[in-house]
Structure 1
Amino acid sequence: MPDPHASTVPLARRAGAWFLVLALPAACALAFAWVGGWLSPQRLTPRRLIDQFQANAGVHPGYRRNHAKGVCVAGHFDSSGEAAAYSVAQVFAPGQRTPVVGRFAIPGGNPYAPDGSVPIRSMALRFALANGQQWRTGMNSMPVFPVATPQAFYAQLQAGQPDPATGKPDPKKLAAFFAAHPETAAFRAWAKTAKPSASFATDGYWSLDAFVFTGPDGQRHAVRWRMVPEAVDATGAAAPAGQPDYLDADLRQRLAQGPLRWKLLVTLANPGDPTNDATKAWPDDRRTITAGTLVVDSEQAQDSGPCRDINYDPTVLPDGIAISDDPLLPARSAAYADSYLRRTSEEAHLPGTARVDTKPQAEAHP
């Protein structure tokens, strides 16, 4: 039956309602177009970033686009209680033990690269808190990052793309990049003396990016953290020559003799310390606390191990830990998600592959 009051509804009001109905999906489509970079071809997007990783290392179906070569590990974290005054995260509660699934890897998108080809190792961890929350972190064995922004990182990848004629990066392009980015000086100074280590177990790992702890009193504290190994290589042994895959074998041998341990050290910033620039280290005199001990007691191949389906997105954080204003963090999260979706889609089509979970989870470990 017709509504007797319909004729009293102003035409303009009805037209406005239809406009809202039609405008909402249009606005959503516009937002997706902006995020995807379709409206601005020059805008840096996660897809362009991961495409550049593939241009540099080739496409290896089913593998992460960076840190492709790695191994799964598992263990737990024992809290010392010292960080509980600065963060309400359950993982730092006194006496708390938290299960951990991690991954050691080397940088680059080639899963067959020799372990001694780069001087950097990485550690990625997922802490599964008892309250159902998670803390994921990706760390590297260097004290500073080369660049401070996603755009500069993309430019670095472009400069490092191998020349088809030589199979190696063009030295002139790299020189031009470094000349245009003086902020890389600290990293380059470190890299000049850095050598590939002989073991994942003897390396220390830095968060590089800054984060924010919130304590029980509501106070916020800018922090960075690092893992300091208990195992020390007194001889300073370098990578063994002629052994492209020695890191996994060394890790397996060490674990056969007992668990491996790292101290989690958290450094608190002073006012004025940069939180948005991973190329700048904080002064050595900043207050540092020992938040607890990471214990690794098992390893497993990454194609079947528990780390395989984990996206080590560093912005997946529990209550009490938040991201800082560092622009690398949201960029890492978006790029890792793109990498995760690519490799999981490829794994689903590989012969004999049966995935346990193809849902994105939340990738230094994309």
Structure 2
Amino acid sequence: MPFPTDEVIMQTGRDLVAQLQAIFGQHPGLRPAHAKGLLLSGTFTPSHLASTLSVAPHFNAPTTPIVVRFSNSTGIPNIPDTDPNADPRGMAVRFNYGERKHTDIVAHSTPSFPVRTGAEFLEFLKAIAASSSAGGTQSPSPVEKFVAAHPSALAFVQTPKPAPTSFAKEKYFGVTAFKLVDAGGKETFIRYQIVPDLGVETLSEEEKAKLGPDYLFDEVAARVSEGPFSFRLLAQIAEEGDVTDDATMLWPETRRVVELGVIRLEEVVKENAKEQKYIIFDPIPRVAGVEPSDDPLLEMRAAVYLISGKQRRAAA
């Protein structure tokens, strides 16, 4: 996973990591965002259609080993699963082809992102930090001013984010667009959706109040110990005129959605904390058959993930 070469992107990435750590605290060896997580392993089985859309190895092999990380939002490693700030939840998928050969999908449980660029995200985080330090004495607060000036951020904040009953009963979205490339070079713009075979199930506030701080992690570990569970990897296909370089803009729900395959999770990864410290997911595919779009968040997120990952690996 190489660093982006643009120094502006790199500096903004470093600033984003530092700002996240300023908000959530310094936690050496852990992620500055989505710090609380769990790795599971399993297999991916592609659909027949997947091989007609892309030459990527995981869409053409009979099966591919995978590692999946479920997580809570924020950089607080002990955030209660019942805390509203723990949403949206995260799901990252690594498709392993061999030693140091892999590609990833990074998704979360809301279909869009609050801002279009890394610079705007840094501004958003600074507004959150300033509002917290002001202790509610400013009106409107810095973050209220920010969302008022950024409708996509306001929509993201206002989107309902009910807590799931299980990581296995949540739907996840890859908010950026990618290009699938077939054997003839034809490109198809898509956005990933990951849909649970068990169905989506959420909690009311009353139900959530009765649960423990680790209910999601306890539940998914117990569930997989009793047998596998699965998701469908879907692709929403863009049509002419759909915006493919802006994660704040959703495509119409009428767009065609096709199945790319089945994500089957079979066990909790051994030495989980050690493996979580080591693995660095990459938002950019870096594999033949799947190409990035021009969404500016991709290079920025790749920089943030790699910078924080190198910090994590270097921590005692």
The code of the aligned residue for 2:272 comes to Q
Does 2:118 match 1:146?
no
Q: Which has the larger radius of gyration?
A: 1
Q: Which runs of 4+ in 1 moved over 4 A?
A: 164-171, 233-238
Does 2:273 match 1:303?
yes
Alignment root-mean-square deviation, CA: 2.6
Instruction: Give the C-alpha shift of residue 339 in structure 1.
Output: 0.3
Partner of 2:153: 184
Does 2:68 match 1:102?
yes
> Cα–Cα, structure 1 residues 253 and 109, in superposed 2: closer, same or farther, change >3 Å?
same
TM-score, normalised to structure 2's length? 0.89
Partner of 2:78: 112
Q: Which has the higher contact order (CA 8 A, sep 6+)?
A: 2
Alignment of 1:128-167 (within 5 A): 128-129=96-97, 133-161=101-129, 163-164=132-133, 166=135
> Cα–Cα, structure 1 residues 188 and 65, in superposed 2: closer, same or farther, change >3 Å?
closer
Does 2:269 match 1:274?
no
Instruction: Give the C-alpha shift of residue 90 in structure 1.
Output: 1.6
Alignment of 1:53-72 (within 5 A): 53-72=20-39
| Other structure's SS at 2:104 match | strand
Given that 1:88 and 1:320 are in contact with CA atoms closer than 8 Å, whether structure 2 keeps it comes out as yes
Q: Distance in 1 between matches of 2:140 and 2:36?
A: 26
1:261 to 220, 230, 237: 230
> Cα–Cα, structure 1 residues 169 and 68, in superposed 2: closer, same or farther, change >3 Å?
farther
Instruction: Give the C-alpha shift of residue 253 in structure 1.
Output: 1.8
2:89 to 116, 121, 135: 121
Given that 1:275 and 1:325 are in contact with CA atoms closer than 8 Å, whether structure 2 keeps it comes out as yes
Q: Distance in 1 between matches of 2:209 and 2:200?
A: 14
The code of the aligned residue for 1:114 comes to P
Count of residues paired in the alignment = 307
Partner of 1:3: none
Given that 1:122 and 1:205 are in contact with CA atoms closer than 8 Å, whether structure 2 keeps it comes out as yes
Q: Distance in 2 between matches of 1:56 and 1:206?
A: 25
Residue deviations 1:10-63, cap 9 Å, x none?
xxxxxxxxxxxxxxxxxxxxxx9x8279xxxxx952111100001100101111
Instruction: Give the C-alpha shift of residue 337 in structure 1.
Output: 1.0
1:199 to 166, 190, 195: 166
Partner of 1:225: 192
Partner of 1:339: 308
Q: Where do 5+ consecutive residues of structure 1 fail to align?
A: 1-31, 38-42, 350-366
Alignment of 1:240-255 (within 5 A): 240-241=209-210, 243-255=212-224
Q: Where do 5+ consecutive residues of structure 2 fail to align?
A: none
Residue deviations 1:72-106, cap 9 Å, x none?
1100101112121111112112x620000121001
Instruction: Give the C-alpha shift of residue 132 in structure 1.
Output: 7.0
Q: Distance in 2 between matches of 1:259 and 1:310?
A: 23
Q: Distance in 2 between matches of 1:170 and 1:323?
A: 41
Given that 2:70 and 2:92 are in contact with CA atoms closer than 8 Å, whether structure 1 keeps it comes out as yes
Q: Distance in 1 between matches of 2:227 and 2:268?
A: 12
Instruction: Give the C-alpha shift of residue 287 in structure 1.
Output: 1.7
The code of the aligned residue for 1:197 comes to P
TM-score, normalised to structure 1's length? 0.78
> Cα–Cα, structure 1 residues 96 and 186, in superposed 2: closer, same or farther, change >3 Å?
farther
Q: Distance in 2 between matches of 1:159 and 1:276?
A: 25
Q: Distance in 1 between matches of 2:150 and 2:53?
A: 35
Partner of 1:35: 7
| Other structure's SS at 2:239 match | coil
Is the deviation greater in 236-245 or in 63-72? 236-245
> Cα–Cα, structure 1 residues 131 and 235, in superposed 2: closer, same or farther, change >3 Å?
closer
Q: Distance in 2 between matches of 1:329 and 1:171?
A: 32
> Cα–Cα, structure 1 residues 171 and 297, in superposed 2: closer, same or farther, change >3 Å?
farther
The code of the aligned residue for 2:75 comes to G
The code of the aligned residue for 1:145 comes to F
Q: Distance in 2 between matches of 1:279 and 1:317?
A: 23
The code of the aligned residue for 1:254 comes to R
The code of the aligned residue for 1:258 comes to G
Instruction: Give the C-alpha shift of residue 211 in structure 1.
Output: 0.6
Identity of aligned residues (%): 34
Instruction: Give the C-alpha shift of residue 169 in structure 1.
Output: 11
